[in-house]
C-alpha cells in the first residue's frame, strides 16, 4: 500500500539461513519512485539483524538487475535464463549460502 492505494505485490521466503526475495511487482504508476529500493532496503536490514544473506533470481534481460547491484547484490550463479544474486551483508562471509 502506498498512500492508501494498492501499489503491487511482494513475495518473500524467510528461511533460517536465508531470506529469499521471490518476487516484487509494482504498478506502473508506482515505479521509479524509490518504492522498490525502500522495500529491498527493509529486507536487507532484516537480514542483517538476523545475520543471514538475501538471495534472489532475476531474468538476464530484466533491467532490475541494475537496481539489485546498486543495493549490494552480486551474481553468484546462473541458470539458463536467470542470474542468481546474493547480498552479503556486513559481518557475513561470502561462503555463507542460504538456498544452495
Taking the C-alpha atoms of residue 68 and residue 74, their distance in angstroms, rounded to an integer, is: 8
The domain total for the chain is 1
Q: Determine the pLDDT at residue 90.
A: 67
Taking the C-alpha atoms of residue 32 and residue 12, their distance in angstroms, rounded to an integer, is: 21
Q: Does 88 score more than 90 pLDDT?
A: no
61 falls within a domain = yes
Q: Does 1 score more than 70 pLDDT?
A: yes
Cell of 24: 516484487
Taking the C-alpha atoms of residue 31 and residue 70, their distance in angstroms, rounded to an integer, is: 16
Domain span at residue 53 reads 8-87
**Residue 50 belongs to domain with CATH number:** 3.40.630.30
Amino acid at each position: 500500500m502506498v498512500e492508501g492505494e494498492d501499489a503491487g505485490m511482494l513475495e518473500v521466503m524467510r528461511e533460517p539461513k536465508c531470506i529469499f526475495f521471490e518476487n516484487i511487482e509494482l504498478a506502473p504508476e508506482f515505479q521509479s519512485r524509490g518504492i522498490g529500493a525502500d522495500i529491498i532496503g527493509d529486507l536487507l536490514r532484516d537480514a542483517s539483524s538476523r545475520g543471514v544473506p538475501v538471495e534472489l533470481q532475476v531474468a538476464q534481460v530484466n533491467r532490475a538487475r541494475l537496481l539489485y547491484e546498486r543495493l549490494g547484490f552480486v551474481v553468484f550463479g546462473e541458470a539458463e535464463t536467470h542470474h542468481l544474486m546474493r547480498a552479503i551483508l556486513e559481518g557475513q562471509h561470502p561462503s555463507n549460502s542460504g538456498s544452495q
